[in-house]
Amino acid sequence: MAEFDLLVIGGGSAGLSAAKRAAHHGAKVAIAEPSCLGGTCAARGCIPKKLMVYASNFSQYFEDAVAYGWSQPQSQFNWQRLITAVNQEIQRLDQLHLESLNKANITLFRHKAVFVDPQTVQVGNQKITANCILIAVGGKAIKPDIPGREFAIVSDQMFHLPEQPQHFAIVGGGYIGVEFAGILQGLGSQVTQIVREEQILDRFDDLIRAGVQKGMTQHGVQFLMNTEVERIEKNSAGLQLFLSNGDPMTVDTLLLATGRSPNLDDLHLENAGVELAGKAIAVNDDNQTNQAHIYAVGDCIHRVQLTPVAIAQGRAFADTVFGNSPHRVTYDHIPSSVFGKPQAAFVGLTEATAREQFGADQIAIYCTKFTPLFHNLTGREENVAMKLVVDRQSDRLLGVHMVGEPAAEIIQMAAIALTAGLTHQQFNATMPLHPTTAEEMTTLHLNEMPAEPVQPCWMCN
């Protein structure tokens, strides 16, 4: 007889949500997690990174305060104090997760799990059997095949650097690279971002791609576009980067932010007969693998790699298997953000995707660009840009995109509108709340773009 109804391999967002929901349904549950509870989000990603974003904003706040009548504050940033505080918060969250597992009578094994056979998992020094096994091991940062890559770091290590980099370089133009570029620039480091494409933030709307890059350049981040690092050498001056374009560059820290991969090393899925789809675990719409009693959720499968999605997958699995309430995760209208300088966020289709799917003559684009009220006194060139993508035939909102503060908070509410299937007319009929940035969303009917896309985007020039 199996020891547990459910064994969850991985104590990240997906695993914790599944374990707690299954326990709520009466299942006897165990989790195997050798590291901090909460996974990438709580320990190596979303939460500590956002705390560092907050820290990096103060340098601008101090300057802006003068325009509002405050005397210039005498302040000095302490990297070690910030890193200590961030890691203390990580430990606090780990303890909170542990307490919630204890309260739910969920057994926690602080060991790595390895499959022995389809029904048996080696956890530390003991073998455990379970009627159902959920794989929720998440993903890991990967390094590209660059000679000398051992001298570079990945995003996990950013929260443990003993000293603040003076000249910080990043390889990669995705949201992780953009966010750390903004963080280090705001904290006072010299920052260079090296991107092999012509623009940052691939798969984002052109409004966001151009707007964020322009804003970060204005803040002092140097971009080397259409450029690759060909090799890395370490010398007494630091790390020397040999580039495909231009002269070598010397920096003291290099972050490789070029992607993530499912964290399946040493799990020995072959012993369980679990099939892969490329580098990820293959699952059906119910997150079930080819082994009927083994499921997988989160960043180790080929779905959207975001914390709320992983949590939803974990809960849907538990409700379906243990709660007699089968349902599936819907992957439409998932909002996403990038906490750069400026911040940006979106939900729904990009303009290019909408034109491709519906036809250029069937899409209406409404845009605006303006200086937010806060900067009327500071004099900064900090703009907000917004875009609505609308289906002309139904008037339904297909996408909402925004650059500038507070994009993430506003787009979260816009996601409700898209999920509910609201129309552009319903947006226009909403009474605005004045004076706010968000009210501009209700007046975009006055700013329709031409039927054909304009390149480059007029709002970002």
* Number of Cβ atoms within 10 Å of the Cβ of 2: 16
Q: Write the DSSP assignment of 359-419 as a string of letters.
A: -GGGEEEEEEEE--TTHHHH-----EEEEEEEETTT-BEEEEEEESTTHHHHHHHHHHHHH
3-state secondary structure of 68: coil
Measured between alpha carbons, how far is 157 from 137 in angstroms, rounded to an integer?
Answer: 19
CA dihedral angle for residue 376, residue 377, residue 379, residue 380, rounded to 10 degrees: -80
Alpha helices by DSSP H, 109-260: 175-186, 206-219
DSSP secondary structure code for residue 423 in this structure:
B
Catalytic site residue from 302, 375, 434, 445 = 434
Measured between alpha carbons, how far is 340 from 175 in angstroms, rounded to an integer?
Answer: 8
DSSP secondary structure code for residue 88 in this structure:
H
* Number of Cβ atoms within 10 Å of the Cβ of 329: 20
Half-sphere exposure of residue 158, counting CA atoms within 13 Å on the CB side? 30
Measured between alpha carbons, how far is 128 from 131 in angstroms, rounded to an integer?
Answer: 10
Say which residues have a Cβ less than 8 Å from residue 170's Cβ, sequence separation at least 6. Answer: 177, 180, 181, 191, 192, 193, 194, 254, 255, 257
Measured between alpha carbons, how far is 457 from 461 in angstroms, rounded to an integer?
Answer: 7
Residue holding tokens 């999920």? 419
Please return the burial class of 424, using the count of CB atoms within 10 Å of its CB with bins 0-12, 13-18 and 19+. Answer: buried
401 is catalytic: no
Q: List Cα–Cα distances, 313 to 7, 98, 129, 281, 303, in angstroms.
A: 16, 21, 23, 14, 10
Nearest to 18 by CA among 388, 390, 296, 333: 296
Enzyme catalytic residues: 434
